[in-house]
């Protein structure tokens, strides 16, 4: 029994114990074009739920998972099954109207004839997680980002990929091997290599970026007094770019930024001086180290929309998730379209 099926089994046992209702499960059902993990049927209520199983749920990955569920299951009732949902995440999922169930018996389900909201049940000690495959460790994540942002890069020499991803040639070789094994990259003989399943690859990248790579790049938090500073500052002269809410505001005109993300290289001191930033662990500006080596977008002051999207989802903030959806539909579809 794989990990996902074990989590589903334990979670449903908790559901049946709490409600007294039987839940039938069809794992990995046929006609599964959406990648549905399971279909859960509650015979007594004559109700069916599509189940998406995730090993772990954190504040950093919640936004990406919620957007993925809304995108895949817009017309169906879906429930997120996972190991454990903290009380804080439980409240946020309920606010977002996302059904969930965990192995501790915490849940939110709101269907005809049944409304359940349970939070605060303690989980057992979780077993240590296996390290992700190399393609989803930091160097591999840098390569995936470069591949997604630069269509056709997968057909360039390894040294070119390494340069754009800002990693070693050897790291490229290891990550490429894993991407092939996971069927995200295929060899088409005389036609060369081709990136596949880009939509799924993007969502996996977004979640792993938030958990594994972004924390390593964090350079500090600061405060800026002028809330509109970003409207008249050209930070490209310091080889810096705007990400997060600020870039989203420029892309969509939908969001008024409250938190600002600036991607920097080695000019941290100059940026701090130019913007008159003050050290503040609770400040409204975060500096993050750049991890790529290519032109970002047609908008000279901001990072690629893929990274803006990832930044927004990593916050887990409801309004940012909504803005991320807009960016996904308006900007990102072109990067993940399958030819």
Q: Is 79 helix (H, G, I), strand (E, B) or coil?
A: strand
For the chain, helix, strand, coil in percent to 5 are 45, 20, 35
Same domain flag for 216 and 332: yes
Residue 110 lies in a domain: yes
pTM of the predicted protein model: 0.83
Same domain flag for 272 and 160: no
Q: What is the 3-state secondary structure (H, E, C) of 303-334?
A: CCHHHHHHHHHHHCCHHHHHHHHHHHHHHHHH
User: Could you give the angle at the alpha carbon of 295 between the alpha carbons of 289 and 299, nearest 5°?
Assistant: 95
- CATH number of the structural domain spanning residue 47: 3.40.1350
Place of tokens 């100059």: 270
- Residue 100's φ and ψ, nearest 5 degrees, are -150, 160
Please list the pLDDT of the chain residue by residue as tens digits (339 residues).
588 889 999 999 999 999 999 999 888 765 444 567 888 999 988 888 999 998 888 888 888 888 888 777 666 788 999 999 999 999 999 988 899 999 999 999 998 888 999 999 988 755 555 556 789 999 999 999 999 999 999 999 999 999 999 999 999 999 999 999 999 999 887 788 999 999 999 999 999 999 899 999 999 999 998 888 998 888 988 999 999 999 999 999 888 899 999 999 988 999 999 999 999 999 999 999 999 999 876 677 899 999 999 999 999 888 899 999 999 999 999 999 886
Same domain flag for 102 and 219: no
Closest to 202 in 3D by CA, of 112, 105, 292, 305: 305
Torsional sign, CA 274, 275, 281, 286:
negative
Same domain flag for 176 and 114: no
Same domain flag for 77 and 140: no
Q: For the chain, what is the domain count?
A: 3
Distance between first and last Cα of the chain: 36
- Residue 18, burial from CB neighbour count under 10 angstroms (0-12, 13-18, 19+): middle
Domain that includes residue 57, residue range? 3-118
- Helix (H), strand (E) counts: the chain: 13, 14
Same domain flag for 187 and 246: no
């Amino acid at each position: 029994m794989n990990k996902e099926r074990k989590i589903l089994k334990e979670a449903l046992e908790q559901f049946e114990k709490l409600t007294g209702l039987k839940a039938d499960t069809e794992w990995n059902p046929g006609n599964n074009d959406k990648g549905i993990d399971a279909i859960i049927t509650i015979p007594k209520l004559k109700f069916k739920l599509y189940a998406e199983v995730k090993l772990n749920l954190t504040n950093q990955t919640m936004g990406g998972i919620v957007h993925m569920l809304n995108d895949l299951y817009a017309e169906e009732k879906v429930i997120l099954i996972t190991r454990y949902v903290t009380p804080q995440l439980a409240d946020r999922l309920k606010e977002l109207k996302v059904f969930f169930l965990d192995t501790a018996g915490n849940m939110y389900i709101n269907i005809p004839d049944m409304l359940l909201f349970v939070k605060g049940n303690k989980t057992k000690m979780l077993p240590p997680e296996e390290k992700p495959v190399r393609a989803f460790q930091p160097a591999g994540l840098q390569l995936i980002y470069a591949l997604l942002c630069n269509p056709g890069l997968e057909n360039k020499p390894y040294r070119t990929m390494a340069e754009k991803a800002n990693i070693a040639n050897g790291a490229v070789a290891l990550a490429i091997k894993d991407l092939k094994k996971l069927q995200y990259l295929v060899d088409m003989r005389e036609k060369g290599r081709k990136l596949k399943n880009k939509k799924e690859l993007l969502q996996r990248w977004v979640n792993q970026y938030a958990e594994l790579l972004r924390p390593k790049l964090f350079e500090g938090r600061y405060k800026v007094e002028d809330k509109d500073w970003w409207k008249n500052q050209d930070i490209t002269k310091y080889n810096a770019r705007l990400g997060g809410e600020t870039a989203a505001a420029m892309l969509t005109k939908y969001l008024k930024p409250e938190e600002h993300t600036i991607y920097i290289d080695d000019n941290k001191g100059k940026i701090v001086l130019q913007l008159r930033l003050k050290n503040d662990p609770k400040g409204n500006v975060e500096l993050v180290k750049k991890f790529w080596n290519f032109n970002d977008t047609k908008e000279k002051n901001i990072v690629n929309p893929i990274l803006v999207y990832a930044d927004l989802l990593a916050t887990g903030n409801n309004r940012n998730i909504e803005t991320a959806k807009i960016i996904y539909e308006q900007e990102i579809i072109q990067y993940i379209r399958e030819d």
